[in-house]
Structure formats: structure tokens, C-alpha cells
Amino acid sequence: MDSESLRESLSSLSLPKNHLTLGLTNLINQSKDLSTLLKHKKLPDHPFTDLQIQTIILTLSTLDTNNEFSLNNHNSTAAGRWVGVGEREGRIYSSLVSSRNFGLGHGMGRSGDIMEPQPKAVGSSILVQLTKHLVIDAMIRGAGLKAEKNGGPVNHGLILPICTGMSVALVLSSLREQDESESDVKKDVVLWSRIDQKSCFKAVLSAGFQCVVVPTKIEGDMVVTDMDAMKKNVEKYKGRVRAIISTTSCFAPRVPDSIDDIGRLCKEDGIAHIVNNAYGLQCQTTVKLLNRACVVGRVDAIICSTDKNFLVPVGGAIVTSPNEKMIATISKVYAGRASSAPILDLFITLLSMGLSGYKKLLEERRQLMIDFKSKFEEVAKKYGERPLVCPKNTISYGITLDTLSQPLEGEDPQSINAGKMTSSFGSMLFTRCVSGTRVVAKGGLKTMGGQDFVGFGSSTDYYLSSYLTAACAIGLTENEMNEFFKRLDKCFKDYFAKRKKALKKKIQDES
């Protein structure tokens, strides 16, 4: 309700006029905030309060038809304003469900297009559009991605209530849709710069393509894109390569792919280029790399996770592109409506952060990064290990884990099961309530979709060390980081004490 009508309606309540004026000022200011938000579709500079955010969502929810049905009004004794005689009317049975969804029942999209406005659900439609604009603004003014005339990484975009993996599959499907060539040779191959992570690989298969894994190469400690191998494969599958998938956020020692080089290659050969940038927004180097790749080469779609970048529950992705048609096709290829829950979570979070809050988070991570690296190194050295030197990866850090399986004095080297011992160290950390570390034992093997991945986890067949990685990711607090290194230190100590004790017992038992 606007403030003028409110003032008028309240006139009979005999409140002092000047009090009322001041109170209404708050309301006017809040309306201005909302109006600015809707008009400019920019992330507000400063956070909105929870109460303000709730008011906005309830206002949008009012625009949908379903909240005027009698079923959604548990105490109703009459028909509601709207009557619904379709097969899906957004009715909500449980008041708890209605309340946690602010009455929003229609999800997002229409059968024709995931970003299309719904006639029955104007408020939900606005929510989706607005969130798209806000998140892209956060990517530009917060993270530093560019939207430029000649095509920057975030010139166009859409938000999806599915994760990065399924988003990759959807992007690939939309590429097939765009195929207009009359060539006899079907573009049925996708090249994938090896990254040991299941979702992306499965996404390619799920979309109906053949996934060709392009090996990486080792540079110092780093696992990097092997451009020669990439080129060879483009040659090998000439005419059949529908797309190359590269990755910019990954666990050390793997570092972001050379997406500028890949982009150049794609441009030359007319191949689509999909960048899996799952959690790369928090890293300035990656952001710059993305900006450059769009200038020097071809990039068709960049996929970012909502949860990993904006600290919302799992379930959403943002797909951006320098190419408007690309985005439109993806939007159209999604079959049917979808849950808007991940979008609502993102909407609330962006308004809760404001630009200042998001920048603060990014800055805090950058600050922690320095300590993170040095403290990690410190613990490593204390136990005879060394840091993996991967300057191109500034999110995930690693240290070797080679001492864990070295025979102790008096221990029979034959009795050592290096893989198992290394893995047990990971379990020990988890038992000590440390989550998110990865322990990769040298020489592991995994089979996916019929293909073997040697050294699974390291994204290369040939890594020479076992190692442990940990990430200094957005949202980590200083207390938490310090606590991590304390527990890691303790865990090393416990590990060796345990082994020594077991060895001692064994020797005693044998004697």
C-alpha cells in the first residue's frame, strides 16, 4: 500500500500528524528502494533488512493468482478471488510449505521457455527476471566480469534451478538445436580437457554426445591444459566436434584451463566453447582470464554455480554468454517449468548482501588466502611434507602426503599399503570434523562411462606425489581457518603416534 493512501486511511486513528509523517517516511523510503530495484535492476549498494526482503517477496507473491484461492487460505469459509480449473493451479496444501515459499507455487518458466513469464504468476516471473539482473550485476560490479559492446562474458545470461553439471548438459542440447548445417557428418563429439570430476563427464553423455577426454600435462607441480593434445583431437575428430569444455575452477594441483588459448582454437575451427566456471567468480585471476578469453577467442557459455559463489543451498546455476542467441536457445531447450526455490534463495541472499556485503566477502577471502598458503606450508614442513607450488590456482591449495606411507624405523616396507594408508588420513580428518579436504593417493584408478581414469583425482595419469588439498573458499572465516590448521597439525601427530604404537605392538606380539 502506498504511503499516501495509508496516511489518508489512518486519518481517523487520531495519531499525532508529525509522528505519522515520520513513520510514513520509512515506508516511502522503502518504496523508493523497491522502485529503484525494479527500475535499475542493480544490486543495492547496501543490504536490505530481512523484514524489507520479506515485504518485497510477499508483494511479488500477491501478484500471482494462486494466493487468492480458497485452498491456500486455511481458515476460509468462502471462495477466493480467483478460481482455478486447470490441472495445475499452484495450490499449496500445507501452511508450512506455503509459508516457507511465501505462497509462491508456480515455479518458473513455461513449457516453451524456462525464462518466459507465466500469465498466472506475474510475481514469480518478476522474481526470476529481477534475480537474473541482480546476479549479473553482482558478477560485473562485484566480481569484475565485463559486459561490453563487443561481447563480454556476461553480456547475456539466464539462471537455472539446476546445478552446473545439468546446466552443461542443457547447454550441449541447445547446441544441437542450433545445428543447421546440412552436413552428413554429425557433430557428435565433445572434447573435454581432463578434470577429474564426475558431473561434467556425465553431463556430456546425458546430452547424447561422445565425450573425448583430452589429457592434461604437468608443469612443475601444476597440472595444466595440454594445447597440443587439444589440437590433435580437434584434428582427429575434424567436423565432428560440437564443443570443447574447459574448466576454470578446480582442485590443486590442477589449475584453470588456458581458456584464452582454447578460445582462440575454437574461434579458428568454428567449435563451440563451454566454460565450466563453477566457483571461479571469487578469484580475480580467473575473472580476468574470462574477460580476456572473450576478447581474443570464442566463448559460447560460462556456467557458474549459485551455491558455491553466493552461499545459498545447492541447486542453481547461472549461464552467461557474449552471445544473445545462445542464451535464448538454452532458455527454450529446457523442457517445462521448474522449481523457483533456488532462485528465491539467490534473490534473498543478494538483497541481504548488497554490493557492499558481496565485496566484503570477496575481500575477506583474498585476505585469508595469504595466511592460508603460509600456514598450510608451515604444517606441511613440520611433518616432512612440502606445499604443491601451483601459483595459477588461488582457491585450492595442496601439500604432499608422501611421508605417510614411508616405512618407520623397524617397519617392513613390504607391509606398507601406501594407497590405503594415505586414504586413512582423509578419514581421520573427517572424523575430527574437518570437511572438504581431498586426499589423493598416487596411482588410483576409476572407471566412468566405460573409460579408465588413472590417477583419478589429480586429472593426470602421471602425478608423482600423493597429496592433500584444501580450499580457501568464499565464506571461510578466520576462526575456521585457524581451527583447520590446528586440527590438521593434530591429525598428523595422531597419525604417526598411532602408526608407531601399532608397530610397537606388532613387534612385541611377534617377539
Binding-site entries: 88, 110-111, 118, 337, 432
Question: Measured from the CB atom, is 47 or 419 closer to a second copy?
Answer: 47
Residue (of 327, 350, 354, 352) closest to 160 by Cα position? 327
Three cell numbers written together for 110 = 513455461
Of 297 and 457, which has the nearer Cβ to a second copy?
Answer: 457
Report the amino acid identity of residue 501: K
**18 burial type by CB count under 10 A (0-12 exposed, 13-18 middle, 19+ buried):** exposed
CB of 347 to a second copy, least distance (A): 9
Pairwise CA distance, residues 293 & 265, whole Å: 11
Nearer to a second copy, 101 or 258 (CB): 101
Which CB atom, from 80 or from 144, has the smaller least distance to a second copy?
80
In angstroms, give the least distance from the CB of 338 to a second copy: 6
C-beta of 332: minimal distance to a second copy in Å?
8
d(CA 183, CA 8): 71
User: Alpha-carbon distance 258 to 193, whole Å?
Assistant: 10
DSSP-derived 3-state class of residue 118? strand
Residues 6+ apart with CB under 8 A from 250: 195, 197, 256, 393, 396, 459
| Minimum gap (Å) between residue 374 Cβ and a second copy | 15
Show binding-site residues for pyridoxal 5'-phosphate: 88
CB of 366 to a second copy, least distance (A): 16
Least CB distance from residue 413 to a second copy, whole Å?
29
How far is it, in rounded angstroms, from Cα 439 to Cα 442?
10
CA distance 252 to 429: 18
- Report the alpha-carbon distance of residue 295 to residue 289 in Å, rounded: 10
Q: Please say which residue, 202 or 500, places its beta carbon nearer to a second copy.
A: 202
CB 143 within 8 A of CB 298: no
Task: Report the alpha-carbon distance of residue 6 to residue 60 in Å, rounded.
Answer: 19
Q: For 139, which DSSP code?
A: I
Sequence ranges of the binding site for substrate: 110-111, 118, 337
Count other C-beta atoms under 10 Å from residue 95's C-beta: 12
Q: Residue 372 and residue 249: Cα distance in Å, rounded?
A: 18
459: left (phi over 0), alpha (psi -120 to 50) or beta: left
d(CA 320, CA 140): 12
- Rank residues 55 and 285 by Cβ distance to a second copy and give the closer one: 55
151 secondary structure, DSSP code:
T
Phi, psi of 469 (to 5 degrees): -120, 155
Amino acid, res. 312: V
Q: How far from chain centre, in Å, is Cα 426?
A: 24
Min separation Cβ 12 and a second copy, Å: 7
Nearer to a second copy, 105 or 152 (CB): 105
Packed helices 17-40 and 3-10: angle between N→C axes, nearest 10 degrees: 160
Question: Which residue, 92 or 294, has its beta carbon nearer to a second copy?
Answer: 92
Three cell numbers at 356?
557492499
Among residues 279 and 453, whose Cβ is nearest to a second copy? 279
Nearer Cβ to a second copy (266/333): 333
